């Protein structure tokens, strides 16, 4: 069995589904079920004995200790995190608690568990920490993409909290010998993505006839990684990744936000045309940029390809078509996650910037 934290969220749920579709090994899934955690993401696993779900907080040390003692997982894959930059600007405290204190709590629980294992089990135990390219800061247009040795220069409360968690993971390896690996990924997209992030927000707003909000000039550049490719990369790191190493995981798809929105509009025009015959392009609206908005991220993913043989299977063209089609085919899921709290958040964050 492996223990996955945050396994009801976007990337975590995709990983759990991917794992159980490709492995016989069971998953112990620990998730607090905050606004972004959704058991509907895992509805296809209902009745599957290989999936054990526990609702709980990674900061609850007694709970985590008890789960490790009872289930004795041979690996811990740590997704659980607050991850939205805008939310971190409005309320940084929860990011410090979950991303920093929560990671510390997990590391200590894992260290205690690992230290008591018999020699063979101790040698095979792994703690994999899932992080972000945002810890590296912002790149100029002509700069080389982020490599694993790029200096940390976080510019938001979110990225600062993730940078802190990365440093903790590194320290627990070098100080205590805990067998860890870390991955820093670029922007993920795909099924089950909570519609506060750019791509699902644009799809949901477009279909509802609402404005498609673009920060500033829309020329902020990101690398885009299909979530299924990310899951495959983590599986590969768990299999053969070197202990103590960091692997950057990217999609080799640098694109400006405005170009992303335009591509989504083109697909929606094709797959779900507006009743009035106009293009979804007409709904694009530029709003005031957010504070400290990093201009460019780009991932150099050559290390994981060279050492572990992983490379993304999806191009952006194939991945975005699958993503738009999934949202069109899963309107009930979209309706269920758009609670009153979600609508209030979108109003507070976007309409105030118009």
Give me the active site residues, please.
Answer: 133-134, 158
In whole angstroms, what is the distance from residue 240 CA to residue 276 CA? 54
What CA dihedral angle connects 146, 148, 150 and 155, to 10 degrees? 70
φ, ψ of residue 250 in degrees (nearest 5): -135, 165
Beta bridge partners of 163: none
In whole angstroms, what is the distance from residue 20 CA to residue 18 CA? 6
What CA dihedral angle connects 258, 264, 266 and 270, to 10 degrees? -170
- Cα–Cα distances in angstroms (integers) from residue 127 to residues 39, 64, 78, 241, in the given order: 24, 14, 8, 11
297, 220 Cβ separation under 8 angstroms: no
CA angle (214 as vertex; 293, 228 as ends), nearest 5: 80
3-state percent breakdown (helix, strand, coil) of the chain, nearest 5:
50, 15, 35
Q: Using only the alpha carbons of the chain, give its radius of gyration.
A: 20
Sign of the alpha-carbon torsion through 188, 194, 195, 196: negative
């Amino acid at each position: 069995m492996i223990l996955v934290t945050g396994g009801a969220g976007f990337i975590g749920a995709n990983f759990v589904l991917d794992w159980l579709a490709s492995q016989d090994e069971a998953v112990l899934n620990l998730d607090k079920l905050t606004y972004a955690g959704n058991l509907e993401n895992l509805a296809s696993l209902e009745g599957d004995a290989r999936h054990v779900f526990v609702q709980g907080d990674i900061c609850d040390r007694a709970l985590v200790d008890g789960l490790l003692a009872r289930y004795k997982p041979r690996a811990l894959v740590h997704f659980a995190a607050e991850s939205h930059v805008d939310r971190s600007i409005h309320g940084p405290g929860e990011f410090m608690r979950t991303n920093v204190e929560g990671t510390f709590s997990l590391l200590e629980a894992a260290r205690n568990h690992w230290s008591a294992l018999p020699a063979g089990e101790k040698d095979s135990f792994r703690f994999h920490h899932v992080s972000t390219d945002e810890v590296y800061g912002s790149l100029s247009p002509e700069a080389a993409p982020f490599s694993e040795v790029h200096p940390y220069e976080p510019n938001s409360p979110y990225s600062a909290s993730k940078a802190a968690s990365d440093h903790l993971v590194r320290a627990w390896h070098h100080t205590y010998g805990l067998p860890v690996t870390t991955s820093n990924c670029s922007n993920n997209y795909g099924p089950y993505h909570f519609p506060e992030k750019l791509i699902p927000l644009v799809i949901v707003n477009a279909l509802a006839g609402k404005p498609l909000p673009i920060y500033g000039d829309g020329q902020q550049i990101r690398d885009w990684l299909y979530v299924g490719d990310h899951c495959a990369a983590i599986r590969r790191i768990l299999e053969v990744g070197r202990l103590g190493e960091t692997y950057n995981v990217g999609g080799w798809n640098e694109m400006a936000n405005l170009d992303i929105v335009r591509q989504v509009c083109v697909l929606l025009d094709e797959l779900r045309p507006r009743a009035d015959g106009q293009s979804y392009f007409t709904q694009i609206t530029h709003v005031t940029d957010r504070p400290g908005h990093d201009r460019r991220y780009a991932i150099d993913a050559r290390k994981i390809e060279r050492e572990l043989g992983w490379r993304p299977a999806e191009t952006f063209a194939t991945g975005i078509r699958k993503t738009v089609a999934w949202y069109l085919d899963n309107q009930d899921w979209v309706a269920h996650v758009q609670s009153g709290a979600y609508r209030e958040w979108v109003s507070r964050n976007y309409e105030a910037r118009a």
